[in-house]
Every structure is written in structure tokens, then in C-alpha cells.
Chains A and B, each alone.
Chain A
Amino acid sequence: MPHDPYKALYLHLPFCVKRCAYCDFATAAVPADSPEIDAYVEDLCLQIRRKAKEGELSAIETVYLGGGTPSHAGLSRLSMLLYTLSLSMRLEPDVECTMEANPESLTERMVRDIWALGVNRLSIGVQSFDDEVLRILGRAHDADAARRAVEAARTRFENVSVDLICGIPGQSTESFEASVQEAAHLGVSHVSVYPLTIEPHTPFDAAVLSNELEEPDDDVEAAHMEAAARVLTEAGFARYEVASYAQPGFACRHNIAYWTGVPYLGLGRSAATMTQNAERRMRMQDGRATDDLDARQMAAEDLMLGMRMSQGVSDAQVKQAEALGLAADEAFTELSEQSLVVHENGRWRPTERGWLCGNELYGRLFDLA
């Protein structure tokens, strides 16, 4: 179908040194020297070249190398990938280019080289600065390695993000708060906070089923999420999305693209692509359509995704949805009666409760179409 240009590019590197106990992502534990990774990266480069030739990369404004663990692919493969990318699209400093890295495989050398090759944002999978918690999660690094990785990243990168997980069984509120404090003190510009979810068919799932692991407690997770919001706000971060906090100017543009109906191209195994025009929005993954939405469903989805962010949705956007026949006004009024949303300065925004009980809020908007 004739479609709007892609603005965001996602490159997937689905390899890790080991699988963490909670992980259900499309990734595999593969030794760093495996020829499988070579073949995969070569193929990915070929796909980048092909898309470039087709003109699909000409409007890309953000790039995200995600995983798996991209840093696990090693410097030489990453160099080849970034070099190919720089030949295939405009990779200037104004293009946000994020790479994910894990402490065990992010070296100072890697930090220097990928920075030189055009990566300008590093997202580090720290998860916690507490050794005991890292052990429970089955991570491949300890807290010291995490600190060193963040410090190494900071030698070149101004824009460094860390991921933290909360609500982990065995993780006290003190431990979680200390990790948030530490991230802030290490001078990162961005923090993502995710409550732990037990995904089916993971070791955690098996452990919960056999009563070896307690199920994460919603009340504890809520308390942790509130603690993160408090500590990070005090440290000068602004919460711009339910799980995302940034210093001024450091919100992740690539992620915002996902939440604002911006088309994105995903390359690599299990990477999702969103293609759209004014009438239709499709998501594809591994050659299969996972979503096929009409204009009404698109409008409802935009409202729903918009409400993940602190900026919420504008009156104009609500009006557009109404024009498509969605009873959006009524829905927002109802949601505000439940204190899930609030109307301010011409926009509907989620409240703290709207963030914590997001499924109620998103579900109501999802039902519009």
C-alpha cells in the first residue's frame, strides 16, 4: 500500500550471553564468537542496504539498536553494522541513535568506537544496583559491573539511560529506592522503571507455579513505582511516560514515536514494523500482520497510546476521534469521574492513578473502536 514515510528505524540483535530468568523476549543465548551472529549481522546489513535502495530510510529521524543484547554482538560486528547504516541513511547528530548494552559486554573501547560511528544514546540494562536482586533475576553481571558500565558510558555519552526493575520478589522498597538514587547520582540523563511481570514459559513462571517464587505483589509494585516517581522528580527528572523519566531535553524520541502514531520500520528477527497511511495502519512481525487497523481503530489506538504519556492527548485529537464517530468525549468524562484522567490546558492527561491503573484507562479507550 502507498504509505507515509518511516520516521523511526529499529534494528534487532537477538543474542544474549544468557537468558535472564524473567525474560520472554525473542532472543537466544549464543556464544559471542558464534558464526550464527556473523551470518545474522551480515543479513541485517543486507536488509539495511535493500531498504535504503528502496528509499525507505530517507526520512528516518531515530534509530534504535535493541535486543537481545546488542553489545553482546561485539565491536567488530557493531562497527560493520553502524558503518553500513551510515552509508545507507543520513546519520547526523540530530538523528537520535540509541544502542542497548548490558554491563557484562559494554567495554570502554566499545563506548569510544560506537560513539565515533554515530551512536549518540546508550541504554544500559542495569535492572538493579543490588547484587542479591541481580542474582534473583539471573543477570550476567553484578552491581559493580553495572556502575563501571554507566561510568564508562558517561566518558563519551551525554545521553545515557538505565533500565530498572521494581516489584521483584525479595527486593525491598529500600533496595529499589537505593538503586533509583544510585542511577540519579551516577549522572544518567534517562531512567526507565518497569514493574516485573511474570511471563508464561519463563523460569520465573515455573518458579511461581511451583511456589518457589512469590508472585509480584501489585501493591508493592505500586509503592515502588510511586517511590521511583518521587526520587527521580526530586533529582530533576520529569516523568514523560508511565515508565520513562528524563532530564530536560533527554526524553527518548524513538520511543515517543511508538506512542504517537509515527510509522516505524523494524529489521531483524521478530522486529515489528508499523506501516500506515490515512486510512489504514498495519503492524508486521516476521512476515505476519499482527495488526490491521482502520481509521477509527487508529484514532482509538492513538488516544490509548497517547495516554501513556504525561502530555496526554489534545482536545483537537479528541475532536478528530469524535469526527470518526468514536464516543471519545464521553469516555474521557467517565474516566475523569474515576480519577484516571484530568483535563488541563486543552489536553487530557493521565493522573498518577491513571498511570498505575493504566489497563483500565487503555481498555476503555481501546473499546471505542
Chain B
Amino acid sequence: MTDPNLIRNFSIIAHIDHGKSTLSDRILELTGTVAHRDMQAQLLDSMDIERERGITIKSQAVRVDYTADDGQTYQFNLIDTPGHVDFTYEVSRSLAACEGAVLVVDATQGVEAQTVANAMMAMNANLEIIPLINKIDLPAADPDRVRSEIEEGLAIPADDAVLASGKTGAGVHDLLEAVVYNIPAPTGDPDGPLRALIFDSYFDPYRGVVALIRVVDGSLKKGDRVLMMATGTEVLVEEVGARRPAETAMPQLSVGEVGYLVTGLKDVRQVKVGDTITATARGVSEPLPGYREAKPMVFTGLFPIDGDQYEPLKEALEKLSLNDPALVWEPEKSHALGFGFRVGFLGLLHMEVIKERLEREFGLDLLATAPSVEYHVYRAGGEMISLHSPQEMPDPGEIERIEEPYLKAKILIPPDYVGAVMELTTARRGTFVTMNYLSPTTVEMIWEIPLSELIMDYFDKLKSNTKGYASLDYDFDGYKPSKLVKLDILLSGKPVDALSFIIHKDKAYDRGRMLTEKLRGIIPRQMFEVPIQAAIGGRVLARETVKAKRKDVLAKCYGGDISRKRKLLEKQKAGKKRMKNIGSVEVPQEAFMAILKVDD
């Protein structure tokens, strides 16, 4: 058993792109955990998509041994948290496994929205925070400015902030020493009944579900019988150990330690993030605080372009959800798109990542319909329906009221952009709450905004309207009544279910007009005229027409042209295959994407 006084559990938190992963890599390298030659940039981000996007989706926990300047060897457990608002809950559980956090701030960018949000969470979790100003090797680095932003914006003393560069390795030794001296050692009852927090889990095809845990009290070892309190699942511990970063079996995990537990379970849903593990015999009755169910916020229809890929899509979703308990889905049938699934995600990034993985790792060609949120529709009798798809919308006559989810959004911007954000967010039905000057160069604006507006490329618009300066963070803020209607798009007079969506009544006309115009540009000319209409119920709001095709021929076709011509026809055929036949109209995939992009 390691003396808890020699254990330091900490996390590294940062705004996206502030260099958290690179810094983690340097720590592994400097402590000799990973030899330099084995370094793969951003070692902890193991998925291709994570590395490409430079974001972390899954939590990681790595144990490193550090022999400090005082001559003692410490056990560091470095917990890498997901770096996106979609995964806020996972972040909070990872932080609960720590005593301290290193707050990384880019020396050129300064404090941004998620710097604030993450620092707040770390403070809420009562963590000791070590500020670190990163990327000091860059010419534009301005550590003095950043130091004052940290002090003024976050109320964290930053006099002795560590100055470091993940890239060059400068300052990393200072950081490790700061961890030893500033972050408290874990406390807990080594002999008490077992209590351990699950802060992440993943599916290992050979060993079943593996949980990442922090032992709060007691200890556990291979062969122990343990109970997961929220799900009531009992398991025999098959193995415990630590990741360094390869999984290394240990005789036991004792109080204060972080490590993994092999459960042998087949369903990741039985091992929930935030749940408490205790011993089956002589266990505790009170779980650790803070558990909640991860709840999907955004829903979209995913349809295979090739109908033959329905089963493969189902299998792929099953495989992905082995590792992703937040991913939920149910079959959905669309007249336009055939059989597919209604899939729920934690947020838009989660959705994009899953769609990309389905396409890349499983070779699927998918169509996604407009993302929707969960609406609460109250029928005249008071009965409430949770609506995930526009298709489930009851007749207007049966509806008493509809409520939609709201978010409390926090936007950080330089003062010059206050007007631009006001304009954009008001147009998106946002309600202004308050505004604070965090520093002379940073304004924090708080808004209440419907989630449905936020998922319609609000963030892209926010970025472009503020020249990329704005950063955004949000929290769920409950359901509020709203005047919502279902807008249908009709092609050749027939409604296309996959193009329907729910929208605020006041915006239906403009959106309908804009979409029909956009679709006219996207839907290629066919052998016949194609009218495009936007309608609510039977009332047509806008109409455009795709004229019939008049000429589509390549006139030259001699000797060598014939092979070329065959290739073109093959391409034409492949192109048609990528389109969806709706009635007799060929609709390209962009048509379904068009709904996602809104020009204000």
C-alpha cells in the first residue's frame, strides 16, 4: 500500500487548444513514464478523431512516478478530462477524483470561456488550483497580461503561476514540484468500508467493461465482490491496476489511489460514470454525492444512404455504445429516407464525432436529419409527450402547449463585440440576463437561449460575428413554454418527412422562404419541373421551382472519348446513388444538410 501522503491526484484543465494534451505528454516524458522515442504526439488522446480535432472525448488516468527534489518518490495520478461542454458531467466526475488541478492558460490567448467554466468547476470541487501559463515560447506570449486576467477574471492568485511550454518542455519540472507542494495528499479511511468513485468506463473486447476509479475509503483487490450502487450491479473484481499508460495489474488499489478495475461485464451501461463502488459484504449504505444520469440533449435521425447498410449501422451503433453510455438510439422510419435510427447525443460535438466515427471506422455513408431537441408537448388533457422527432408531433388541434429546453449561456468577448453578440443572440430568441467586465479586455455576457437555436450553427455564427474572439459555455436551464410549429417542406407537392422541423412561429415564414430558395440551388434540374414549398399544416408559406432540365449531353464522342464517356456515366450513376429518390425527385444529401445552416 502506498502511503497516501505520497499520492497526488490532479487534473489538467484548459480551454480548447490551450495545449493541455501536449503538456500531459511532456509530463509523461519527463517522469520517464514513456520513452521519448515512443511518444506519439498527444499520447493521451487515443482516438484518431481526438488527435485530429485536438480535443479529448474520453477521460484518461495515467499513473506516473516522480522523484521530487526532496528525494521522495511520489505517485502522481494524472486525470485527463474531456475538453468540451458536451461532456460537462464527465468532467465534474473526473475532477471529483482529484485533490488539485493545473489550470492551463495560453500565454497568447489568455482566459477564455472554458478557462472560466473549468476553473469554476475545479473550485466547486474544492480543488487546489495551480495556474500555469503555457506556450511561453511563442513570440506573442504575454504572461503579464494573462496573469492579471487570471487574477481579475478568476480570482485565483497568479503571482507564482508556473510559466511553461508544452512544446519545449520548459517549466515542466517547476510544475511537477508545484504539484508536490501545493496539491494536498488524499485523505480517507484506509480501514473503512470500501467507497470508490467511477469517473469513466470503457469496453475492452477481451475483458469486458473496465472502470476508471478513485478509491475514497478502504481498498479493493482481485477477487473482491463489489456492488455498483446506482445500478445495483454486483461483480467479482477480475483485476485492478494502474495505467502507466499501458494497463499494469497491481495487487490492490488502496485509499487515495486512482486506477482501473476489470469487471468482466458486457454492457457499459451497467458501469455508470459517477456511481459508487462498495463491497457487497460490509459495504456502505450512502453513496458518494454527485451522481446523475447522463441525458441526451440533441437528437438527430441517422439514415444509411444505401438501404443495405441498415443492419451494419445498427451493429456499429451497438459497438460504439459499448464504450459510450451517453449514446442512445431507437429505430426510426422515414418515408423519404427509409429505415434508420433516432439517435440522442450529449451535444452537437458528440453528434459530429459519432457520425464521423460511424462513417470512418465502419465505412458507412450516412444522412443526418436536422438535429432536434427534446420538446415537451402537453396535450389538452394535460398529458405530456417527450418529442424527439418532428415526425411525432401531434395535430395542432390536440396541443395545449409546447415547452422547449433553455440554456444559460455564458459568452466571453472583447468589449467591441458586445453589439454583434446582442444582435445575433436576440435574433436567436435569446434573452439577455447580465453582463460583467472580467477585465478591461474581457466581457462576460449571460444569456438565456433556447437549445434549439443554439444547435442551429449558433456557435459558428458567434465565432464569425466576433472575428473568432468569442467563446461560449452553457448549462441546462430548464423547460419554458414557446410558440412552436412544425414546418414541412414539400417536393412536387408531397411533404418530405426528413426535411420537416420544429421552429418558433415568428421565424417560420423567413426560414421557410430561405430554405426553399436554398433547396432550389441544391436540387439539380430533373427531367421535369420540381416545385418546392414550405408549409405549416396546409398553409404554404413559400414556393420555389426547379426548372426542368433542357440540356445534359456531352456532344463529342469519338475513339478515346467513349471510355471517358463510360467513366462519366459511371460517375453519374454513383452520383445518383448518393442521392435520395423522393417520389421521382432525386435529392442530393446537401439538401438535408441545408436545414442545419441558417443565414441570419
Contacts and interface: CB of A to CB of B under 8 A. Distances in A.
Interface of A: 10, 66, 193-195, 197, 218-219, 221-222, 225, 242-243, 255, 258-259, 264, 266, 270-272, 274, 283, 285, 290-291, 301, 305, 308, 338, 355-360, 362-363, 366-367
B292 interface: no
A264 B559 CA distance: 8
B105 to A, nearest CB: 42
Contact of A291 (B552, B554, B566): B566
Contact of A243 (B549, B551, B555, B576): B555
Nearest to B551: A222
Nearest to B555: A243
A366 B550 contact: no
A134 to B, nearest CB: 19
A357 B554 CA distance: 9
Contacts of A272: 559-560, 562-563
Given A359-B552, A360-B527, 14 more contacts: A193-B555, A194-B556, A218-B552, A221-B551, A255-B558, A258-B559, A270-B560, A271-B560, A272-B559, A272-B562, A291-B562, A305-B557, A358-B552, A360-B549
Nearest to B526: A360
Given A363-B569, A366-B569, A357 B527 contact: yes
Given A301-B566, A362-B569, A258 B555 contact: no
Given A305-B562, A356-B550, A360-B527, A194 B555 contact: yes
A286 B301 CA distance: 49
Contact of B560 (A194, A221, A225, A290): A290
A193 B562 CA distance: 18
Interface in B531-590: 549-560, 562-563, 565-566, 568-570, 572-573, 576
A270 B560 CA distance: 8
A355 B525 CA distance: 17
Nearest to A196: B555
Given A356-B551, A357-B551, A360-B552, A274 B559 contact: yes
B550 A266 contact: no
Q: Of residues B552, B553, B558, B576, which shows the largest number of chain A Cβ atoms within 10 Å of its Cβ? A: B553
Nearest to B563: A290
A10 B559 contact: yes
Contacts of B569: 359, 362-363, 366
Contacts of B568: 359
Given A218-B552, A242-B553, A359 B572 contact: yes
A285 B566 CA distance: 15
Given A357-B549, A362-B569, A258 B558 contact: yes
A271 B558 CA distance: 11
Nearest to B553: A358
Contact of B550 (A193, A219, A359): A219
Contacts of B563: 272, 283, 285, 290-291
Contacts of B558: 66, 255, 258
Nearest to B554: A197
A222 B549 CA distance: 10
Given A270-B560, A271-B560, A274-B559, A355 B553 contact: yes
Nearest to A195: B555
Contact of B553 (A274, A305, A357): A357
21 contacts: A197-B554, A218-B525, A219-B551, A221-B551, A258-B562, A266-B559, A274-B562, A283-B562, A283-B563, A290-B563, A291-B562, A301-B566, A356-B551, A356-B553, A357-B549, A357-B553, A359-B568, A359-B572, A362-B565, A363-B576, A366-B573
A59 to B, nearest CB: 17
Q: What are the 10 closest A-B residue pairs judged by CB atoms, nearest first?
A: A358-B553, A272-B560, A290-B563, A222-B551, A243-B555, A222-B550, A272-B559, A366-B569, A218-B551, A194-B555
Contacts of B555: 193-195, 242-243
Interface residues of B, number: 24
Contacts of B560: 266, 270-272, 283, 285, 290
A317 to B, nearest CB: 18
B245 to A, nearest CB: 47
B32 to A, nearest CB: 54
A356 B552 contact: yes
Most buried by A among B525, B559, B560, B570: B559
B526 to A, nearest CB: 9
B563 to A, nearest CB: 4
A293 B587 CA distance: 31
Interface string B298-329: 00000000000000000000000000000000
Contacts of B550: 218-219, 222, 356-357
Contact of A363 (B551, B556, B557, B572): B572
Contact of A338 (B527, B566, B572): B527
Contact of B573 (A197, A274, A363): A363
A271 B560 CA distance: 7
A221 to B, nearest CB: 5
Contacts of A363: 569, 572-573, 576
Nearest to A197: B554
A193 B555 CA distance: 8
Nearest to A366: B569
A221 B554 CA distance: 11
Contacts of A290: 560, 563
A363 B554 CA distance: 12
A355 B555 CA distance: 9
Contacts of B553: 195, 242, 355-359
B117 to A, nearest CB: 43
A365 B553 CA distance: 14
A2 B527 CA distance: 43
Contacts of B551: 195, 218-219, 221-222, 225, 356-357
Contacts of B566: 291, 301, 366
A243 B552 contact: no
Contacts of A362: 565, 569
Contacts of A367: 573
A48 B556 CA distance: 26
From A66, A219, A270, name the one whose CB has the most chain B CB atoms within 10 angstroms: A219
B267 to A, nearest CB: 45
Contacts of B559: 10, 258, 264, 266, 271-272, 274
Contacts of A301: 562, 566
A141 to B, nearest CB: 21
Contact of A218 (B549, B562, B565): B549
A313 B470 CA distance: 66
Contacts of A271: 559-560
A290 B525 CA distance: 31
Nearest to B550: A222
A268 B234 CA distance: 79
A359 B573 CA distance: 10
Interface string B405-417: 0000000000000
B557 A259 contact: yes
B556 A243 contact: yes
A283 B566 CA distance: 12
A338 B563 CA distance: 27
A367 B576 CA distance: 12
A80 to B, nearest CB: 23
Nearest to B528: A338
B445 to A, nearest CB: 39
Interface string B503-532: 000000000000000000000010100000
Interface string B186-213: 0000000000000000000000000000
A366 B572 CA distance: 11
A356 B548 CA distance: 12
A358 B568 CA distance: 12
A239 to B, nearest CB: 12
A283 B563 CA distance: 7
Nearest to B559: A272
A308 B554 CA distance: 11
A177 to B, nearest CB: 17
Contacts of A222: 550-551
